[in-house]
Amino acid sequence: MSEPAPPHREPEEQSRHGRLTARPAPPVGPATAGLVPMTGPDGGPFALLYAPAPAGDQPYRVVVLLHGAGGSARQGLDLLLPLADAHHLLLVAPQAAASSWDMIVEGFGTDVRRIDTLLTSVYAGYPVRDVVLGGFSDGASYALSLGLTNGDLVAGVVAFSPGFAAPLVTHGQPRVFVSHGVDDRVLPVDVCSRRLVPRLHELGYDVAYQEFNGGHEVPAEIREAAVAWLDTLP
């Protein structure tokens, strides 16, 4: 799914608006399968990438997975890692620069640029079919906010137990999958997804919503439902 890049602005200005500028391009290197740790410019942990073995010329669906507050890139990756091979999903799990994602801590900026850098690296190394943003808890709220901002790049958003969506601007109409536990005491479903999902419907988004008996978690059956939903994307 390739769309024109956003109008030219300085990268820092783009990131303050939550805009991703990376766009698919022909890969320049051989694809590396398996688990790949990615380090930042300072040599510190930056992200984890997992790529299934290449399947001929079949491009990957890239899923950027965002951890919850105080979490880790590994926790983000584990959201869909058991299902990646069977569904040919290339998973990218960044580490937030702070305790949670930039929009939640201080406004769009640092983490938008980090995700842009990761996507640029993925495009350079792998054939890409499309990009999906996903996450859990704060990561789900961030995935929704960033995904609705960048619907001209993002094909879909997977939000496990989100609290809210707060894009500064919106572009395109990405499809959305939301799940939430009816006994969630961290982000109660009544004030979170049961308000959020109807609002997204009112705004014209195609939303698949699934509640489950449980708390602030992502059960195996919800992961499987999310990946089955991904398979329905054009």
Q: Which CATH number do you get for residue 217? A: 3.40.50.1820
Would you say residue 21 lies in a domain?
A: no
Would you say residue 3 lies in a domain?
A: no
pLDDT score of 161 more than 60: yes
Would you say residue 18 lies in a domain?
A: no
Query: How large is the average pLDDT for residues 148-177?
Result: 97
Q: What DSSP state is assigned to residue 83? A: G
Q: Concatenate the DSSP letters of all residues of 12-71 into one string.
A: HHHHHTT----------SPPPPEEEEEE-TTSSEEEEEEEPPP-TTPPEEEEEEE--TT-
Distance of CA 232 to the CA centre of its chain: 17
Write out the residue range of the structural domain in which residue 165 sits: 34-230
Would you say residue 42 lies in a domain?
A: yes
Tell me the pLDDT band of 43, cut-offs 50, 70 and 90: low
Would you say residue 75 lies in a domain?
A: yes
Would you say residue 222 lies in a domain?
A: yes
Which SS3 state, helix, strand or coil, does residue 130 take?
Answer: strand
1-10, 65-74, 177-186: which range is least confident on average? Answer: 1-10
Q: How far apart are CA 52 and CA 54, in angstroms?
A: 6
Nearest to 143 by CA among 172, 171, 117, 164: 164
**What pLDDT does residue 4 have?**
45
Q: List the structure tokens of 96.
A: 């937030």
> pTM for this one?
0.92
Into how many domains does the chain fold?
1
Place of tokens 């024109």: 4
Would you say residue 125 lies in a domain?
A: yes
Would you say residue 5 lies in a domain?
A: no
pLDDT score of 157 more than 70: yes
